[in-house]
């Protein structure tokens, strides 16, 4: 039996009236630029529990409130963004939930030569937020908490040579009893050298410790050499090669190569595209094992005729948990359209497909999702 939900049309109409009545694009509190947003979207999902058999289909209403604040000073900039989303299921109401996200970033210049950056991203949700998140993840529907903290320090030693150092701390907490919580701490540093304005070389070293609670820890030392080559002012090629030395959860040591290459075209603010390939062994947040994987990904964003926007994403990855002999293939794509109804309102339509094929049947699933809604900012 389908239970009645608060009609989405009421939400949409209220949102439209509220936003259309605004006469200013944003609030300003001193030097702080504030944007308030709201959206209401209806989705059809043919596999809400990420399983192979006995799939459940449902219509889901997603109501979101968001807030973004930015400060720009002479030597420092700060940005803060947050959202809260309420999901209401038409049939399987036991899956109704609320997800939240908070992102904070800071950039500070101490001189012409010294600067720092800091970012902290937190999310609590019930579905993976991207194909990268879903790759290697245990299938099924469950909530998780992620927190990513990143700090970097850059110093220009000469006009061509710069030193960079970074620290990262990750936290992954899962609601399932059979999944251990995961923690990551990593340190890195190295040098960037500008051969010319179009060619930049880098040499970097990093150390990472991945721990599970309950469970063991893995330690990784990574050395890489990389380059960025600008083919034109907006088209550039990135490449990186290196070696991972992994002490894997107290059992085995691996010495494995890593490769990364991407090409990015930033034609203008209305059009960007990229293609990337990556091959690596690593200790990820999902299993106490080494994940041997490679992946292709592509993105294309285009704004047409000022009001019409297109967003495309594609992904294909193959990965194996070495000691458990679990092999996953994940492939999927997303296509999204957006049309600006007026200065404040935007109508959206999206479709995504994801499929995992595994040699472990419990990890298999196929998933189609169609979403339509309206978003506003003021």
Radius of gyration of the chain measured on its C-alpha atoms: 23
3-state secondary structure of 278: strand
Alpha carbon 231 to its chain's center: 27
Residue-wise pLDDT for 211-232, tens only, equals 999 999 999 999 999 999 999 9
| Second CATH level (architecture) for the domain 8-377 | Beta Barrel (2.40)
pLDDT tens-digit profile of 29-44?
778 999 999 999 999 9
- What does the pLDDT average to over 73-98? 96
| Residue 31 confidence (pLDDT) | 86
Residue 142 CA, chain-centre distance (Å), reads 18
User: Percentage of the chain with pLDDT > 90?
Assistant: 83
> Is the confidence at residue 274, as pLDDT, over 60?
yes
Q: Where would I find the H helices in the chain? A: 8-20, 131-134
Strand, coil or helix: 94: helix
What does the DSSP assignment read for 183-252?
A: EEEEEEEEEEEEEETTEEEEEEEEEEEEEEESS-EEEEEEEEEEEEEESSSSEEEEEEEEEEEEEETTTE
Q: What is the pLDDT of residues 160-203, one digit of tens each?
A: 999 999 999 999 999 998 899 999 999 999 999 999 999 999 99
Q: Which pLDDT value is given to residue 6?
A: 53
Burial (CB < 10 A; 0-12, 13-18, 19+), residue 361, is exposed
**Phi and psi dihedrals of 16, rounded to 5?**
-60, -45
Three-state DSSP at 132 gives helix
Q: How does strand 252-268 pair with strand 199-213? A: unpaired
Residues 324-339 have a mean pLDDT of 96
Three-class secondary structure of residue 140 per DSSP: coil
Of 283, 167, 169, 168, nearest in space to 215 by CA:
283
Least confident of 17-31, 114-128, 164-178: 17-31
pLDDT of residue 11: 54
pTM here is 0.88
pLDDT value of position 81: 97
Confidence grade of residue 22 (pLDDT, cut at 50, 70, 90): very low
CA distance 375 to 360: 40
pLDDT at 267: 82
* Tens digits of residue pLDDT in 339-362: 998 888 899 999 999 999 999 989
Q: Chain-wide mean pLDDT for the chain?
A: 91
Lowest mean pLDDT among 10-19, 139-148, 289-298, 335-344: 10-19
328 to 194, 275, 287, 355, 361: CA distances (angstroms): 40, 22, 13, 10, 10
């Amino acid at each position: 039996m389908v239970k009645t939900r608060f009609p989405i049309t009421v939400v949409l109409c209220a949102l439209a009236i509220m936003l259309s009545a605004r006469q200013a694009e944003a609030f300003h509190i001193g030097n702080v630029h504030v944007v308030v947003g709201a959206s209401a979207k209806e989705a059809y999902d043919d596999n809400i529990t990420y399983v192979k058999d006995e799939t459940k289909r449902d219509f889901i209403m997603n109501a979101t409130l968001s807030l973004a604040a930015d400060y720009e000073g002479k030597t420092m900039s700060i940005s803060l963004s947050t959202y809260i989303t309420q999901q209401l299921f038409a049939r399987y109401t036991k899956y109704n939930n609320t997800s939240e996200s908070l992102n904070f970033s800071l950039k500070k210049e101490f001189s012409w030569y010294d600067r720092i950056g800091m970012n902290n991203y937190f999310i609590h949700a019930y579905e993976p937020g991207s194909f990268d998140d879903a790759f290697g993840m245990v299938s099924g529907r469950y909530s998780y908490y992620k927190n990513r903290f990143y700090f970097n320090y850059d110093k220009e030693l000469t006009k061509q040579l710069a030193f960079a150092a970074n620290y990262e701390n990750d936290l992954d907490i899962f609601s399932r009893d059979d999944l251990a919580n995961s923690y990551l701490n990593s340190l890195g540093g190295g040098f960037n050298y500008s051969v010319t304005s179009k060619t930049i070389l880098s040499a970097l070293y990093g150390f990472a410790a991945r721990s599970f609670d309950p469970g063991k820890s893995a330690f990784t030392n990574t050395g890489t050499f990389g380059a960025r080559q600008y083919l034109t002012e907006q088209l550039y090629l990135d490449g990186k090669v290196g070696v991972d030395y992994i002490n894997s959860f107290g059992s085995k040591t691996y010495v494995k190569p890593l490769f990364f290459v991407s090409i990015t075209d930033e034609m203008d603010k209305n059009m960007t595209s990229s293609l990337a390939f990556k091959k690596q062994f690593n200790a990820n947040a999902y299993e106490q094992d080494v994940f041997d994987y490679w992946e292709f990904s592509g993105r294309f964003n285009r704004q047409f005729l000022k009001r019409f926007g297109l967003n495309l994403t594609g992904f294909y990855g193959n990965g194996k948990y070495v000691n458990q002999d679990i092999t996953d293939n994940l492939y999927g794509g997303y296509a999204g359209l957006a049309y600006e109804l007026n200065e404040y309102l935007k109508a959206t339509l999206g479709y995504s497909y994801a499929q995992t094929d595994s040699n472990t049947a419990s990890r298999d699933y196929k998933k189609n999702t169609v979403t339509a809604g309206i978003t506003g900012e003021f």
